[in-house]
Amino acid sequence: MIRFKNGITLDADGSVNTQNREVWVEGDKIAFVGIPSDEQLKSTIFEKEYDLEGNLLMPSFKNAHTHSAMTFLRSYADDMSLQDWLFKQVFPMEAKLTGEDVYWFTKLAILEYLTSGITACFDMYFELDDYFKACTESGFRTVMCGAISGDKSAVKRLEENYNRFNGKHPLVSYWLGFHAEYTADYELMEGVAQLAEKYKAPVSVHNSETAKEVAECVEKYGKTPTELFDSLGIYNYGGAGFHCVHFSSNDMEIFKRHGVWAVTCPGSNSKLASGIAPICDMAEKGVNLAIGTDGPASNNCLDMFREMFLMTALQKIKRGDAAACPADVVLKAAVKGSALAMGLDNCTDLSVGSQADLIVIDLSKPNMQPLNNIAKNLVYSGSKQNVKLTMCAGKVLYKDGVFHVGEDVNRIYARSNEQLEALKARN
């Protein structure tokens, strides 16, 4: 049993408890939450005790949209238009990627997630065996999202992956998905809808990231991407839309009707000049909200604190209202919404039986003082600097700046840089 004591706790609903509740972890699960009796303390053997020294213990952040392995493109092609970035830099480099590249670049990304208190990612990429290996070796939770594109021949591979990766490892699951409307033909999307029906499974996909994407879809099909997906039955069992920047009222109605999650990526959407998603409108209509960092090529960092501040700051700008998108809405999206968006419904709460996906926030840093309101401090002034400990499935993967991911960190840096140089040189 692992014991966290002498701390403050914050629950998934954002409520703070200062009554010195303890949280105990057995294996990968939370075994106790509360103020233990003397009897309980006497009868329990703790293999490890963490004295929180008044700091905050809370459920970890989850990242509902990313392409982890794209760390290799960080600071490689910034300050250029989205089209040039994607077609002249990203796609040509990606065409040369090997499985070994993906393995090391993913390991690098996982390190950064841990420094930001993120314990799970909804990840869309390729070279899946290598991605799987990087995550499981690191002890990091992931939901892989289908990323097929092109014609219907890809659908078979999607189904194979769905059956191959689900159930393979307790930290890994796989969800149906495809890259985007603009990289898929109609038959591919029909095929995905058939799989959704066959497995009664949700489908997740990039959706309405740019005005151009929506305009071209409307021109081609007479429907927005969301309307098109709806007409095909793709969202019949829910799922997630990544980005959702250029979203109509009807798009929101469709999301609401099917319980589809809108995953906002404000860092990426601002850096690539895609726009500001209508998060407040969505919230008012009751659309489910989650947050993603997007990949490090477009963001460029993997930092839930930055995403949280941007989520609310951009809404305040968009609405011209400093009261827009308050901190509690943001915090809920980052902790609980993002987990539920990828089907992780058992790692969001400080409750007995939940997966022990927990973080400790250092309140003894100047940006967390004074303690007027801890939840607002997290959203408005929190930073990676405040992440003292990150635990995934009961294992401490990061503590006081030191990683415990089964691999020397300097080797991950060195190998990432080596793979990058080899990739650049490759024809």
Q: Which of residues 162-201 bind its own copies (CB under 8 A)?
A: none
Residues between 1 and 40 that touch its own copies (CB under 8 A): none
Which of 95, 320, 353, 402 lies at the binding interface for its own copies (CB under 8 A)?
A: 320
Which of 203, 311, 314, 344 lies at the binding interface for its own copies (CB under 8 A)?
A: 314
Residues between 323 and 342 that touch its own copies (CB under 8 A): 323-324, 326-327
Question: What is the nearest approach in angstroms of its own copies to the Cβ of residue 272?
Answer: 5
**Residue-by-residue DSSP string for 221-283:** HSS-HHHHHHHHTTTTT-EEEEE--S--HHHHHHHHHHT-EEEE-HHHHHHTT-----HHHHH
Give the number of other Cβ atoms within 10 Å of residue 158's Cβ: 21
Question: In terms of CB distance, is 351 or 369 closer to its own copies?
Answer: 369
- Range in contact with its own copies (rule: CB under 8 A) among 4-12, 175-183, 336-344, 416-424: 416-424
Question: In terms of CB distance, is 353 or 366 closer to its own copies?
Answer: 366
Q: Coil, strand, or helix at residue 330?
A: helix
Question: What is the nearest approach in angstroms of its own copies to the Cβ of residue 231?
Answer: 30
Give the number of other Cβ atoms within 10 Å of residue 182's Cβ: 16
| Cα 76 to Cα 84: distance, rounded to the nearest angstrom | 13
According to the binding rule CB under 8 A, does residue 276 interact with its own copies? Answer: yes
Question: What is the nearest approach in angstroms of its own copies to the Cβ of residue 82?
Answer: 5
Question: In terms of CB distance, is 244 or 327 closer to its own copies?
Answer: 327
Q: Which two tokens stand for residue 13?
A: 């609903």
**Closest by alpha carbon to 333, among 386, 288, 268?**
288
Which of 177, 202, 278, 296 lies at the binding interface for its own copies (CB under 8 A)?
A: 296
Give the number of other Cβ atoms within 10 Å of residue 323's Cβ: 8
Question: In terms of CB distance, is 298 or 348 closer to its own copies?
Answer: 298
Peptide bond into 92 cis (omega under 30): no
According to the binding rule CB under 8 A, does residue 80 interact with its own copies? Answer: yes
- Range in contact with its own copies (rule: CB under 8 A) among 28-36, 122-130, 149-157, 367-375: 367-375
Cα–Cα distance list, 216 to 128, 133, 193, 211, 227 (Å): 31, 38, 21, 9, 13
Residues between 38 and 77 that touch its own copies (CB under 8 A): 71-76
Contact 318, 275 (CB under 8 A): no
According to the binding rule CB under 8 A, does residue 90 interact with its own copies? Answer: no
- Total residues interacting with its own copies, rule: CB under 8 A: 71
Which of 3, 62, 65, 271 lies at the binding interface for its own copies (CB under 8 A)?
A: 271
Q: Which two tokens stand for residue 151?
A: 């014609």
| Cα 403 to Cα 406: distance, rounded to the nearest angstrom | 9
According to the binding rule CB under 8 A, does residue 92 interact with its own copies? Answer: no
